[in-house]
Amino acid sequence: MASHSLLPAVLQAVMKGQPKALNDPHYPAWHLAPVTGLLNDPNGFIHFAGRYHLFYQWNALGCQHKHKCWGHWSSEDLVHWQHEPIALMPDEEYDRSGCYSGSAVDNNGVLTLCYTGNVKFDDGSRTSWQCLAEQNSDGGFDKLGPVLPLPHGYTGHVRDPKVWRHGEFWYMVLGAQDLQLQGKVLLLRSENLWNWQNLGEIAGSGLNGLGEAGYMWECPDMFTLGDNTFLICCPQGIVREEKRWLNTHPGAYLSGTLDYANARFQHGAFHELDAGFEFYAPQTTQTEDGRCLLVGWMGVPDGEEMRQPTVANGWLHQMTCLRELTSRNGKLCQQPVAELQALRGEERFYQGPAQQMPTLDIQRLELMVESSGEVTLSFSETLILEWHKDELRLARRSLENGEWLYRYWQGDAQKLQILCDHSSIEIFINDGEGVMSSRYFPVHPARLTLTGDAELRVHYWSLHPCMVE
Ligand code: FRU
């Protein structure tokens, strides 16, 4: 039985909330963000019938993790996006506690969503259903209902189906927690998207030589680039190290080879996907010309998210920029997708000692910086990047207690590409060998000042604003 519709309340929330969000000086000028309320994971990223579609976890009714719907944007060029009708709302028994994350496929010409129906019970327990929905002629989605109940041997934490086609079959990876409270990824197979056969665990805590690796793995995604198959996932509960795994929960990847016939994934150690303060739940898709793209949530669950000042203006979080993935010697590299260059204004250039570089307005700016010395980049004194010979150290104050917090990328950084928006900084290191994505909340107009006597070569561009229409 369908429960009460959230639609009237969502409409009211958008009418009341959108002006406040869009007038907030921290609201992004060219990144995707919610028009009101809370956004988290990107979902259903796909190129379908000539357009890109990107869905997102959205609570229009407030900044808490509740009432999750699927919002929907589409774009022809990956730069200019438009709003589409809300795709999914939690209005059935099997998804009443939230239409949780999932993916999209082209099922014989029909745009089809695979998502998790989350159900929470009064005693604190929960279950989940993997569900389908398909696009109708109005651009909205009709729910087809659950196709997979909770598999045996797992708790109610089974979710986030990522589905793809390989040969004759559909394959799905699912994030799961087993009854010993270990995080796992399951591989499933289907001929028709309706009947699924569980092929078993392909990675997880205690598997394939990984050791203890967390109590729940969320948002798995699997794809092949050249000779390597990559499994992206978000392992919750892995042990913090001095300079790695410092966020409450990370986005990570394993690189290896997948044997479809035996459902075995041989892989090496975990790598951090992003070394900044905010990055989680990324999702990938293929473009028509064969590129692999990634977009992530520039947020982290369970951290200091509710302290972000935008909550006072009724909105919270944004996406990362769209990135192209490549594989270099089994390592995943990320670079801003080439289409974003359309946002660039006139190119400027500076060469000379760091401290003599003019101060730049960084509300919307892209920089390509080459240097081999010691430099400090201060983003309005709110986010500070120390560029040392063998590491980058990014510093920011805790929103909770004002203490300085640090994130690190270790290695010899020769070249940085930095993308700035009103409240975010994305730093791409050595053509994408590393990335540090972070939100920050400066007083505007935010400014970049550099110190150090190292010689720099800097190309930079002011970026045009580009709001969703
Ligand atoms: C990750 C996540 C997913 C879940 C969704 C709910 O951020 O917890 O596992 O499907 O968010 O919004």
- Give yes or no for a contact between 305 and 299, defined as CB atoms under 8 angstroms apart: yes
The tens digit of pLDDT for each residue in 96-107 reads: 999 999 999 999
Helix (H, G, I), strand (E, B) or coil at 355: helix
Mean pLDDT along residues 259-288: 97
Residues in CB range of 356: below 8 A, 6 or more apart: none
Residue type, 259: D
Longest distance between any two alpha carbons in the chain, whole Å:
69
Percentage of the residues of the chain whose pLDDT score is greater than 70: 99
Which three-class secondary structure state does DSSP give residue 305?
helix
pLDDT over threshold 50, residue 250: yes
Summarised one tens digit per residue, pLDDT across range 284-329 is: 999 989 999 999 999 999 889 999 999 999 999 999 999 999 999 9
| Residue position matching structure tokens 């930079």 | 460
Mean pLDDT of the region 337-357: 98
- Kindly state the percentage of the chain with pLDDT values over 90: 97
Nearest 5°: phi and psi at 304? -95, 20
Ligand 1 geometric centre to CA of 98 (Å): 10
Å from CA of 209 to ligand 1 middle: 27
- Distance (angstroms) between ligand 1 centre and the Cα of 379 equals 31
Structure confidence at residue 282 as a pLDDT band (50, 70, 90): very high
The SS3 of residue 311 is: helix
Is the beta carbon of 59 within 6 A of some atom in ligand 1? no
**pLDDT, average across residues 107-127:** 97
Distance of CA 454 to the CA centre of its chain: 34
> Is ligand 1 within 6 A of the CB of residue 159?
yes
Q: What is the DSSP string of 76-140?
A: SSSSSEEE----B-S-SGGGTT-EEEEEEEEETTEEEEEEEEEEE-TTS-EEEEEEEEEE-TTS-
- Distance, CA of 115 to CA of 162 (rounded, Å): 8
Answer yes or no: are the C-beta atoms of 69 and 99 closer than 8 Å: yes
Provide the β-strand partners of residue 264. 259
The residues assigned a catalytic role are 41
Q: Is the pLDDT of residue 121 over 70?
A: yes
Q: Probe ligand 1: pick from 100, 113, 114, 278, max atoms within 8 Å of CB?
A: 100
Q: Is 101 in the pocket of ligand 1 (CB under 6 A)?
A: yes
289 C-alpha vs ligand 1 centroid, how far in Å? 30
Q: Which atom of ligand 1 is nearest to the CA of 118?
A: 10
Separation of alpha carbons 427 and 418, rounded Å: 5
Between 190 and 288, the more confident residue is 190
What are 323's strand-pairing partners? 294, 336
Distance 116 CA to ligand 1 centre (A): 9
57 lines ligand 1 (CB under 6 A): yes
Q: CA-CA distance, 73 to 83, in Å (whole number)?
A: 5
Q: How confident is the model at residue 373 (pLDDT cuts 50, 70, 90)?
A: confident
Would you state the structure tokens that stand for residue 207, as one six-digit string?
């598997």
205 lines ligand 1 (CB under 6 A): no
The number of residues making up the chain comes to: 469
**Residue 2 reports pLDDT greater than 80:** no
- Residue 240: pLDDT over 60: yes
For 166-183, what is the mean pLDDT?
98
Question: Across residues 418-423, what is the average pLDDT?
Answer: 98
Measure the N-to-C terminal CA separation of the chain; round to a whole number of Å: 35
CA distance 456 to 120: 55
Is 333 in a helix, a strand, or coil?
A: strand
The region, left, alpha or beta by phi > 0 then psi within -120 to 50, assigned to residue 399 is alpha
160, 177, 185, 317, best to mutate for ligand 1 pocket (most atoms within 8 Å of CB): 160
Average pLDDT along the chain:
97
Give the mean model confidence (pLDDT) for residues 256-276.
97
Q: Give nearest CA residue, ligand 1 atom 8.
A: 218
Distance, CA of 464 to CA of 193 (rounded, Å): 42
Residues 6+ apart with CB under 8 A from 329: none
Q: Residue 9 carries which DSSP code?
A: H
- Distance CA(469)–CA(466), nearest Å, equals 9
Distance CA 433, CA 389 (A): 16
Q: Which atom of ligand 1 is nearest to the CA of 68?
A: 12
Ligand 1: distance of its center to the CA of 396 in Å? Answer: 26
What pLDDT score does 1 carry?
Answer: 41
* Nearest atom within ligand 1 for CA of residue 41: 7
Q: Is the CB of 160 under 6 A from ligand 1?
A: yes
Under 8 Å between Cβ of 37 and 60: yes
The arithmetic mean of pLDDT across residues 418-444, rounded, is 98
Q: What is the pLDDT of residue 3?
A: 55
Predicted confidence (pLDDT) at residue 183 exceeds the cutoff of 80: yes
Residue whose CB lies within 8 A of the most ligand 1 atoms, among 218, 247, 283, 298, for a mutation test: 218
